[in-house]
Each structure stands twice: as structure tokens, then as C-alpha cells.
Amino acid sequence: MAEFHSLNSADARPAENKGGAEQAPPSFKAARGRVGRTRGRIGEILFKILLTGGGFVVLVIVAGILLSLIVNSVPSLAAFGPAFLAGTTWNPSGGEFGALPFIVGTILTAFLALFFSLPFSLSLSVLLGEYFRKGPFAALIRTMMELLAGIPSVIYGLAGTFFIVPLIQALEMGIGFVPYGVGIISASIVLAVMIIPYSASLGKEVLELVPEELKEGAYSLGATRTEVVTRIMVPYSFSGIIAGITLALGRALGETIAVTMLIGNMNAIPENLFAPGQTIASLIANEFNEAGADLHRASLLELGLILFVITALITILGKYVIRKMSVGGSS
């Protein structure tokens, strides 16, 4: 009987030892935990360095563009000074350069295009953000908007040349203007079509973010759907809508090919909205490769610097409006 108990004890001990061998010692577990934590900290540091590096790359790119424009426009800055902004003559053969006609043309076409596009972009934002969020019709409209955003600008220029220009010529003849066809109004109409997807897409996204509780509360008080859209959704999303408008305006300011094909390329301040003109971008596209004299090239680069500053100022103004008009923002 004693032998039987001793054998059972002997058999049990190896099993206990075997079971104990499968478990890591406490010191090993602690070391493995420290290694894991160290790897996690190293990964976190590397990830933060990667993100910070991406931010610095953006800063370096913007600073490099600005510095390049400033350095290469020094001959023009030295020759004309602030008078360059108010000059109205552009005569490369005579060495006379003024930026005012092109500043006026740029601002006119961009803001007129924004004016034409706003009713359509806001309507599309509300349509897709509230009335038709899902379904085949909404999918079709979204696809068409994406297509409009992806069409090359030269195609817009061709479409404007064969469709918009004849209509504008007929209108000019009817109201007694010189029937140029091309001009500020033609370029602005095509630009308006080009920038609709930018403001409409962002407007749709922010309208979809309006809390359902706000809308349901308005409906419970007897508000109609139109009142909910105009008094609840649009005010709540106003900062996002302004962001979309700012994005669209920036796109209009820098458009080149379509505008060059439709604006008429006249180096003078437009007499009216039907007259030909020139934007900064279209002038640079037309003359930069053929600019022989250093002063001519420097003047074009100074125009590029002016366009950079105009775009930056509009972006800063848009950010200010967004901050002031956002929900919970300072008034």
C-alpha cells in the first residue's frame, strides 16, 4: 500500500513539473512586457516624426514657391516698385509693364464665376444633403458632379468656344455691343460650371453632419422642410459652406487654359463685362515661354507673386469668416 502511494506521488511530480515548465517565469514575462512597451514607444515616436515631417514638407514647399517668385521678380520690383500695381500699360518691346489690367481681369472673372455658380452649388448641396441622400437619382447626380470636376480644362475651353461664344455674340448684337463673343462674361460662365462641384461637394458633406435631433426638434414644433433647411441646416453648416465657396474661388483664381481660350487676351482694363480682357494666369501662359528680355520675364514672375498673394489673402479671409460664423465661434 505504501509502495502504491509512493508510485502515485512519483508519477504526479513529473506531471506537475511538466505543467510548470509550460509557464514562463515571472522575470521573463516582465522582460517581454518591457520590450513590448519599448517597441510601442519607438513606434509612436517614429509615427510622430513621420507626421511632423509631412507638415514640414508642406511648409518648405510653400516657402520655396514664395521665395522663388520673390527672387526671380527682383528686377521688376527694383525697376517699377509699387507703381507696377497701378500701371495700365503692358508693352514688352518698349519695356513698360503694369499689372492693373490683369489684376482687374483676374478678380472680375473669379468673382463673377462665383456669383454665377452659387445658386447651382447651394441647390445641389441641399438636394444631395437633405432631399436625395440615397437612391439612383442621388448616385447619378454625384457621378455627374465628379465628372464635371474631372473634365480637363481644355475641354471646357473647347465647349465654351463652340457653345458659349456664339450665344454671347448673339446677345451682344442684340443689345448693341461689339460682338466679340470672347471676353470676361464668356470666361466667367465656363469658370462657373468648372467650380460648381467644389463648393457643392463640400456643402453636401457639411449639411449631412447636421444632428438629427435639431431637425426632429424643429419638425416637432411644426416647421416645414423648407424652414428646417433654411433656418436650421444652413445656419448650422454655414462655416462649411463658406469653406467650399473659398475653395471654389481659389480654383477660379488660378484657372488658366479655359480662361485663356475664352477671355480674349487683350492687355487692357475691360471696358465692360462683355469686353475682352486678360487674367494673370492667362497672360503668364501666353507670354512666359516667349519672354526674351530679363525684365519681361521678371515682370511675369512678379505677376505670379501677386496672384499668390491674392490667393493667400482670400484664403485667410475665408478662414476668418469660417471661424466667426462657426457654431460656438466668437461673434
CATH topology of domain 74-325: MetI-like fold (1.10.3720)
Span 173-202, mean pLDDT? 91
Q: In the Cβ-directed half-sphere of 108, how many Cα atoms lie within 13 Å?
A: 25
Domain locations along the chain: 74-325
Span 20-26, mean pLDDT? 54
Q: pLDDT tens digit string along 109-118?
A: 999 999 999 9
pLDDT at 8: 46
The structure's pTM equals 0.80
Q: pLDDT tens digit string along 130-167?
A: 888 888 888 898 888 888 888 999 999 999 999 999 99
The answer, yes or no, to whether residue 328 has pLDDT greater than 90, is no
pLDDT at 57: 93
- The pLDDT-based confidence of 119 (bands split at 50, 70, 90) is very high
The answer, yes or no, to whether residue 170 has pLDDT greater than 80, is yes
pLDDT at 28: 56
Q: pLDDT tens digit string along 193-223?
A: 999 998 888 888 888 888 888 888 888 888 8
The answer, yes or no, to whether residue 11 has pLDDT greater than 50, is no
